Structure 1
Amino acid sequence: MDESTAKKTGSEHLKAKQIVYYVLGVLEVLFTFRLIFKLLGANPLSPFVSLIYAVTQVFLAPFSGIFPSAVTKGLETQSVLESSTIIAMIVYAVLAWGVLKLIDISRNSHNVGNR
């Protein structure tokens, strides 16, 4: 493998890792918003809150029902601790870590195989 091909492959792996970090970051931020909104009893009819709930629900579906949600009723709002959101945050972080390791393995096998 010539030097330009090696640089191209290295930059492709770097770009793939950056994409994984970006997607994980977006998901984690959305989950954090959801967790805070539920804990503080945000109005689900608010357009922004509704959008966050709708987008994150797709990614939370596999984790629904693992544990019951803890609900505290206040005078004006209802506070909910969704354990499924916390579990999803952990699982997606671990999955991203695994994908990043696979990218590293792919890069290393590329470098070893082409010497």
Structure 2
Amino acid sequence: MNHSEEIRAWQRIVYYILGVIEVLLAFRLIFKLLGANPASGFVSGIYSLTNLLMSPFLGIFHTASARGVETQAILEPATLVAMIVYAVIGWGIAKLIEIMKRPNQNPK
């Protein structure tokens, strides 16, 4: 494996982890918006997995809710903020790997 392939491999790992985080947060956002039943195992699992990811962002904005006949839809802007912040952090880590692994271009 040459140097640039190693950099790309590490970057793919970072982007894979970021993708998993983004998908989990997207599920959370959609489930809250559609008023999914939090007692459902799958929904509960997604909420449990994302609670830790969401903790730094909760309270930034107020959540908005609309009560329907059977469900309550919740817009949680903190989830959108979290998705943006994690995307920027993932991109930053991928760029940092590229910078740190770049061969020294200043000959001695």
Q: Same fold (TM over 0.5)?
A: yes
Corresponding residue of 2:86:
92
Instruction: Please give the TM-score of this superposition, normalised by the length of structure 2.
Output: 0.92
Q: Say if 1:72 and 1:114 are closer, same or farther in 2 by CA, change over 3 A.
A: farther
Unaligned segments of structure 1, at least 5 residues: none
Q: 1:24 aligns with which of 4, 18, 25?
A: 18
Deviation at 1:103, TM superposition (A): 1.2
- 1:10-39 deviations in whole A, cap 9, x for unaligned? 332222101111001001111111100000
Corresponding residue of 1:80:
74
Equivalent residue of 2:66, what SS? strand
Equivalent residue of 1:80, what SS? strand
Instruction: Please give the TM-score of this superposition, normalised by the length of structure 1.
Output: 0.87
Corresponding residue of 2:105:
112
Alpha carbon RMSD of aligned pairs, Å? 1.7
Q: Counting helix residues as a fraction of each chain, which structure ranks higher?
A: 1
Unaligned segments of structure 2, at least 5 residues: none
User: Could you say which structure has the larger radius of gyration?
Assistant: 1
Give the share of equivalent positions with the same residue, in percent. Answer: 53
Kindly indicate whether residue 49 of structure 2 is the aligned counterpart of residue 55 of structure 1.
Answer: yes
Which amino acid in structure 1 is aligned with residue 105 of structure 2?
V
Q: Say if 1:114 and 1:26 are closer, same or farther in 2 by CA, change over 3 A.
A: farther
Corresponding residue of 2:40:
46
Q: List structure 1 runs of 4+ shifted beyond 4 angstroms.
A: none
Q: 1:103 aligns with which of 97, 103, 108?
A: 97
Equivalent residue of 1:57, what SS? helix
